[in-house]
Amino acid sequence: MKKLITIALASCMAITGCVTIAACGGGADYNHTILFYSSQGDALATVTEEAIAAFEEKYPGWTVEHTKPGGYDEVLDKVRQDLTAGLQPDLAYCYADHVAQYIESGKVVDMDQYLTNGESYTYTVDEVDYTVDRIGFTEEEVENFIPGYLEEGRAKNFTGYADAGLTETALLTLPFVKSTELLYYNPDALKKLGYSEAPETWDDLWKMCKEARQMWPTCTPLGYDSEANWFITMAAQRNFGYTDPDPANHFLFVNSGAEEWLGEIAEYHDLGYFTTQQEYNSYTSGLFIKGPENGGLVFCIGSSGGASNQAGNDFTTEVAPIPGTMRDGELHAECISQGPSLVMLAGGHKAANPTEKQIMTFQFIKELLDIKFQAKFAKESGYNPMRTEVYEEEGYAAFLAQKDPETGKDITVKKDLVTSKAAAAAQLLTERFFTSPAFVGSSTARAQMTTVVQYAMLGQKAPHKALEDAYYACGGK
């Protein structure tokens, strides 16, 4: 059936009057279908179905096709492949370094044009008019976004934006939910060691690791779930170089500060103080939940988004910020900000109504950023919501207070309890968050840091050699 679509656009978008598009023939199947790629597993995809259903009910004639290619790397590969074929999605999960690889395609949409657009919008399907009351968010709603999360998506944080015709204030991504790294610890083990609180500094932690090895010789006191995050975080805390947005010298990690730190962790590894995900061949939470008496861990540093996996078998897990580094008489306790953002891409499947698709894709984004949906998704996933109002939402506020949102009773399920503690802890760390520059090659640098840490801690390469090899692997000259 032939569909007539009437588009009424704001003058601020440089389009006036009404445009009528006959959406038939080539690409017609995609004219009213928003393609969304994510890395969600089945449980979170089920939650997202609620946002999809809300969007489809609100805007008759429109549907969302949610595709899950795999993890973040698989989403990246799928989007890149589809961009080459002109089959890109309208919306996709992303990390900043993914978007750095999409910019050169010229298909990344500047969402700043929609962010606070106060105009209404009318579309027609089967000769029936439907109205979007307001294309964008209100100024008040945008002020409620966590500033650091929102500003991550500005083009000034990416290299190559000017070559794609974008200004530095262009909004290339919007945050969806965010995570950080936290220190999960066994309070029973700490009590046996004579401590009542988690370590505040790395020196404190290594001291406790030494004492834990003396008390439980078969335990590995610390597990770190991401070697790359560890290196990048320590570069921030200890102020040695990692990467830089300057195209003339992107890679800064061959330096004496990095070498010194790698030498230190090699010594601690020889003493049996820690293991990592790559060495253990799995997330180290699997060791943590065993407890040190059974050859497990006392501490585990992992994502706030994976908190449910840190629920101990025979103890009640506690949560704290990751340790910091004393430098120049001050505690430097930076922690990494991660988690999916959303990137909008233009022109996929040669849809006959590209401008309308962008506007309607933005309406779907608004459903994903809805306060009640954000609260539910954050509760289920352990990620931080991107709007401060979510923390005041009744159910989520109860959850952060370790209460069941439905009954008001104390949370007793261990996995839910740890997730609650992690969400509450991460909420307090937004001032500590940092992100790394995004450019073509930044994802390669990150992958190389995993290898660098592995080589150094296992003594397979001297720190300088490991760093130098990584530099050349990244294309450094």
In this prediction, residue 94 carries a pLDDT of 96
Helices and strands (H and E) in the chain: how many: 18, 20
* Cα angle value 226/230/231 (rounded, 5°): 120
How many Cα atoms are found within 13 Å in the side-chain-facing hemisphere of 156? 5
DSSP line for 285-317? HHHHTT-GGGT--SEEEEEGGGGGGG--SSS--
Using the predicted structure, report yes or no on whether residue 240 has a pLDDT greater than 90: yes
The three-state (H, E, C) secondary structure of 21-34, written as one string: EECCCCCHHHCCEE
Give 272-301 pLDDT, tens digit per residue.
999 999 999 999 999 999 999 999 999 999
Give 196-234 pLDDT, tens digit per residue.
999 999 999 999 999 999 999 999 999 999 999 999 999
Using the predicted structure, report yes or no on whether residue 19 has a pLDDT greater than 60: no
Distance between CA atoms of residues 224 and 284, nearest Å: 7
Percent of the chain at pLDDT exceeding 70: 94
Name the amino acid, one letter, at 339: G
How would you classify the pairing of strands 325-327 and 181-185? Answer: unpaired
Distance between CA atoms of residues 189 and 297, nearest Å: 9
**With contact defined as beta carbons under 8 Å apart, do 190 and 298 qualify?**
yes
Domains and CATH numbers, the chain: 4-108+112-171+340-379 (3.40.190.10), 181-337+417-473 (3.40.190.10)
In this prediction, residue 405 carries a pLDDT of 86
In total, the chain counts a number of residues equal to: 477
Distance between CA atoms of residues 99 and 94, nearest Å: 7
276 φ/ψ angles, rounded to the nearest 5 degrees: -130, 170
Query: What's the pTM?
Result: 0.86
* Cα angle value 208/209/212 (rounded, 5°): 85
Cβ count near 330 (within 10 Å): 9
Point out which residues pair with 185 in neighbouring strands: 299, 318
